[in-house]
């Protein structure tokens, strides 16, 4: 009798259609999730390239101020344009130097912002006085003389040099 006994055969698994569809859809679902995660991770890693300007901010501002001739604007009676240009240069420098938004703010808002980041009260006070005088020409009917325009340009240069010197 022992010769007639044989080992039990293993379970023979038959793959039917529903089992195949179940595993195939599971595989497709996992592949879709993996692809989605790949796209999300690829999107979250933007390439950051740090661009440095060709010249430091204060040199760019000083060169721009040096190119402006107050006599030209005085002869053309473009006083407001002159004051807009020099204050725009100073504002751009302040925006770069202190990393604040200066171009979309009024002079008062700019001074408030500078009071938060600048510790030297005298510097902020001088800048407030400078912007107030420029605003008189830009928005009021004040007509400065040529000598005052030259002084305002010199004051702009001094502000840029002082702010840069203390920022180092």
Count CB atoms within 10 A of the CB of residue 134: 23
The torsion angles phi and psi of 14, rounded to 5 degrees, stand at: -105, 125
Query: Is 27 part of any domain?
Result: no
- Give the model's pLDDT for residue 141: 84
Query: Is 123 part of any domain?
Result: yes
- pTM of this structure: 0.65
Overall domain count for the chain: 1
Query: Is 22 part of any domain?
Result: no
In this structure, the dihedral spanned by the alpha carbons of residues 50, 51, 52 and 58, taken in order and rounded to 10 degrees, is -110
Query: Is 116 part of any domain?
Result: yes
Domain that holds residue 161: 57-167
Please state, for a pLDDT cut of 70, what percent of the chain lies above it: 90
Q: What is the pLDDT of residues 85-128, one digit of tens each?
A: 999 999 999 988 888 888 788 989 999 988 888 888 899 999 99
Query: Is 124 part of any domain?
Result: yes
Query: Is 21 part of any domain?
Result: no
Q: Name, in order, each residue with C-beta under 8 angstroms of 146's C-beta and a sequence gap of 6 or more.
A: 70, 71, 74
In whole angstroms, what is the distance from residue 129 CA to residue 158 CA? 14
Confidence at 168, pLDDT banded by 50, 70, 90:
very low
In whole angstroms, what is the distance from residue 31 CA to residue 42 CA? 16
Query: Is 39 part of any domain?
Result: no
Nearest to 24 by CA among 34, 32, 14: 32
The average pLDDT across 57-67 equals 89
Query: Is 18 part of any domain?
Result: no
């Amino acid at each position: 009798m022992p010769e007639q006994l044989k080992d039990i055969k293993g379970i023979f698994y038959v793959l039917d259609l529903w089992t195949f569809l179940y595993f195939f859809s599971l595989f497709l679902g996992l592949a879709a999730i993996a692809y989605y995660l790949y796209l999300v991770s690829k999107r979250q890693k933007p390439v950051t390239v740090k661009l440095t300007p060709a010249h430091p901010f204060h040199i760019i501002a000083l060169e721009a101020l040096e190119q402006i001739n107050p006599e030209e604007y005085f002869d053309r009676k473009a006083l407001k344009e002159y004051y807009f240009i020099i204050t725009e240069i100073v504002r751009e420098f302040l925006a770069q130097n202190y990393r604040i938004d200066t171009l979309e703010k009024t002079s008062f808002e700019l001074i408030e912002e500078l009071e938060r980041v600048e510790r030297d009260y005298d510097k902020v006070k001088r800048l407030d006085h400078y912007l107030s005088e420029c605003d008189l020409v830009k928005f009021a009917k004040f007509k400065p003389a040529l000598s005052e325009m030259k002084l305002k340009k010199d004051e702009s240069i001094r502000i840029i040099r002082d702010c840069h010197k203390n920022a180092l």
